[in-house]
Amino acid sequence: MKTPTQEIHLPLLKDGQITLSIRREDMIHPLLSGNKFRKLKYNLEEAKKLGLSTLLTFGGAYSNHIPAVAYAASNHDLKSIGIIRGEELADSWQDNPTLKTASEWGMQFEFVTRQAYRAKETSSFQEKLQKKYGLFYSIPEGGTNLLGIRGCEEILQPEDESFDVICCAVGTGGTLAGISIAAWDHQKVLGFPALKGDFLNSDLKELTPRSNWSLTTDYSFGGYGKVTGELIRFINNFKDETGIPLDPVYTGKMMFGLLDMVRKGDFDKGTRILAIHTGGLQGIMGMNGILKKKNLPLLTV
């Protein structure tokens, strides 16, 4: 599937020395958008090939991946199960827009402690799930596996060879890995992690055989799902100026960081940059609920 590319015109870019375009992967679908469509494409094919009728996956309370799997499963006449981090959500998940949407598309939940969730990839944990739910097709957190990476390779199109730098937000690393594999030899791939810490470097070395990528860890705003008033104002202003909505967990932080790097002169003159909009807009409603409780400005919808 080919998605449109939109060039960005902002005062910061008015001299034309740096050009910035956004690949609008968010326009694929409200729920199955961006990297979620890409990551699930070949996993869905594999589940059907194996004759499995249930998808089982993992995620947090506001994970974009959870409603995407629920919708994809329903759309392909499959059942879905979500193993959700945080046992405290068992009695209140109906108040969570992300989980409520996933439930409306038929997903069954199991809420586990954070300690148990950390062991989700162990054989003992997987065996317990098999005993409880029977045969299922397991998709890892965030959809990052070899098939998910293969799908993300298809984000880049032949005309993208003209760009010098490809940027994307980073969660589990699958999207950046796919882009790294598909990128042309002259291109640099720059990732903006939504999580705090440097552990993703070692993970990515296992996901892509190439060394054409790097991570900038200065724009996580404190870690996964954490935001500030400054970030919210930036996202709202960006939408007013460009018409493009950004999510506060991934693409908002990426674009904030990218434009800050442009402002600081981190790119050579004449650099052509392509930023990948990986979707995630479903999370805005849930984030606004959190922002309201903290008396912070709300994201415009």
**For 126-162, what is each residue's pLDDT tens digit?**
999 999 999 999 999 999 999 999 999 999 999 999 9
What's the pLDDT at 4? Answer: 95
Mean pLDDT (the chain, rounded): 95
Tell me the pLDDT tens digit for each residue of 198-215.
Answer: 789 999 999 999 999 999
43 versus 225: the higher-pLDDT residue is 43
Nearest to residue 220, comparing CAs of 193, 258, 260, 259? Answer: 193
Instruction: For the chain, give the percent of residues with pLDDT over 70.
Output: 100
pLDDT higher than threshold 80 for residue 74: yes
Give me the residues paired with residue 79 across strands: 54
Distance between CA 201 and CA 166 in Å, rounded?
A: 17
Residue 221 pLDDT grade (very low, low, confident, very high; cuts 50, 70, 90)? very high
pLDDT higher than threshold 90 for residue 110: yes
DSSP letter for 188, please.
E
Residue 235 pLDDT grade (very low, low, confident, very high; cuts 50, 70, 90)? very high
Beta strands at 272-277 and 165-170: parallel, antiparallel or unpaired: parallel
Asked which of 9-13, 53-57, 138-142 is least confident by mean pLDDT, the reply is 9-13
Contact 87, 113 (CB under 8 A): yes
Radius of gyration of the CA atoms of the chain, in A? 19
What's the pLDDT at 71? Answer: 96
